[in-house]
């Protein structure tokens, strides 16, 4: 068994311990309660309802594979892979983690009611070891990318790496930069601090709401045209759909994004047949996780990775340059 120790800091105090573990590891409340069965707080057994205090020391144990994980492994082995899996690129790999350049259109892990091929399924078929911290369908996944967002994602092989990276994500010790092609031209630099929560009536969407979770996005315009702009986006928090929601909140939705209005607005703003044709080739939002910078969770070595913009986004940019 591997033991991981977390010292509770000021911003984490006041939370129920099961809610903290669920948010910290991006797992369900029931999964967090299961993880707490073998945990200790200040060297004593802990109840899920316990309220954390500043300086508390929580110790969690690496979990052994269970029957649920075995069933997930079997399901993955029988899952046919889509053709686009050939576009997946292993950027880096060692005994603790992998850095993968994910193509647009590939789901990272299953959500409620879904059963399609995922990145996790593919990695299992490749006999890659995956951490067991979260639920089986999210094995190895310490953060995620939306299905139709391309780019770099970290996948953990060991529980020790997963625990440490979860801690680093929680304390914003990683740098994640995205490239986004948006409709319209926003101010050349901006910082968006607007809380996000699931949309009240549209369950697949998220929205800026006063009672939502804190969310911070910074951006810089790196190139612009009359009706479009290319942004370098620095994600300081990791809320679901955060960049898409924040840029739509600014009235600059991401081109090709059908959920937040960017697909229709981009086509309406195309201005030329060539730009329109390039936009129509986008299979989802023009958002790419281009850079990752962090400290290796086990060796403490500094790591930095970049992934080139996908061809369909580059085609839109070339069409815009030619049109102007």
> Can you tell me the distance from the alpha carbon of 154 to that of 94, in angstroms, rounded to the nearest whole number?
12
What is the Cα Rg of the chain in Å?
21
Question: In what helix (H) or strand (E) does residue 45 lie, and over which residues does it extend?
Answer: strand 44-45
Q: Which of 18, 56, 121, 146 does the annotation list as catalytic?
A: 146
Question: In what helix (H) or strand (E) does residue 244 lie, and over which residues does it extend?
Answer: helix 242-249
Residues, the chain: 324
> Can you tell me the distance from the alpha carbon of 106 to that of 63, in angstroms, rounded to the nearest whole number?
28
For residue 159, give the DSSP letter: H
300 is catalytic: no
Whether the CB-CB separation of 284 and 107 falls below 8 Å is answered with no
- Give strand ranges (E) for the chain: 3-7, 40-41, 44-45, 57-61, 89-93, 97-102, 150-156, 175-183, 189-193, 196-198, 206-208, 216-224, 228-235, 287-295, 302-306
Q: Which of 163, 169, 241 is nearest to 199 (CA)?
A: 241
Backbone φ and ψ for 36, nearest 5 degrees, come out as: -75, -10
Whether the CB-CB separation of 182 and 249 falls below 8 Å is answered with no
User: What residues contact residue 273 under an 8 Å CB cut-off, 6+ apart?
Assistant: none
Residues marked as catalytic: 146
């Amino acid at each position: 068994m591997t033991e991981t120790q977390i010292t509770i800091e000021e911003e984490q105090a006041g939370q129920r311990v099961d809610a903290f573990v669920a948010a910290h590891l991006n797992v369900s409340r029931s999964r967090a309660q299961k993880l707490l069965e073998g945990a200790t707080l200040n060297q004593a057994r802990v109840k899920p309802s316990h309220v954390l205090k500043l300086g508390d020391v929580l110790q969690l144990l690496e979990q052994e594979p269970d029957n649920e994980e075995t069933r997930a492994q079997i399901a993955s082995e029988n899952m046919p892979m889509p053709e686009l899996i050939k576009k997946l690129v292993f950027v880096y790999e060692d005994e603790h983690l992998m850095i993968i350049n994910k193509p647009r259109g590939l789901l990272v892990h299953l959500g409620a009611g879904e059963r399609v091929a995922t990145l996790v399924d593919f990695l299992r078929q490749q006999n890659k070891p995956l951490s067991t911290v979260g639920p089986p369908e999210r094995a190895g996944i310490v953060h995620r990318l939306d299905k139709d967002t391309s780019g770099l994602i970290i996948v953990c092989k060991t529980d020790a790496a997963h625990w440490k990276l979860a801690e680093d994500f929680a304390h914003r010790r990683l740098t994640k930069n995205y490239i986004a092609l948006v409709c319209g031209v926003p101010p050349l630099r901006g910082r968006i601090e607007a809380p996000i929560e699931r949309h009240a009536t549209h369950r697949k969407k998220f929205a800026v709401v006063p009672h939502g979770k804190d969310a911070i996005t910074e951006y810089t315009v790196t190139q612009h045209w009359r009706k479009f702009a290319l942004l370098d986006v620095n994600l300081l928090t990791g809320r679901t759909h955060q960049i898409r929601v924040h840029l739509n909140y600014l009235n600059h939705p991401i081109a090709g994004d059908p959920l937040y209005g960017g697909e229709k607005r981009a086509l309406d703003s195309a201005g030329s047949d060539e730009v329109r044709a390039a936009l129509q080739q986008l299979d989802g939002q023009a958002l790419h996780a281009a850079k990752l910078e962090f400290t290796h969770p086990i060796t403490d070595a500094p790591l930095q990775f970049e992934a080139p913009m996908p061809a369909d986004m580059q085609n839109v940019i070339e069409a815009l340059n030619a049109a102007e």
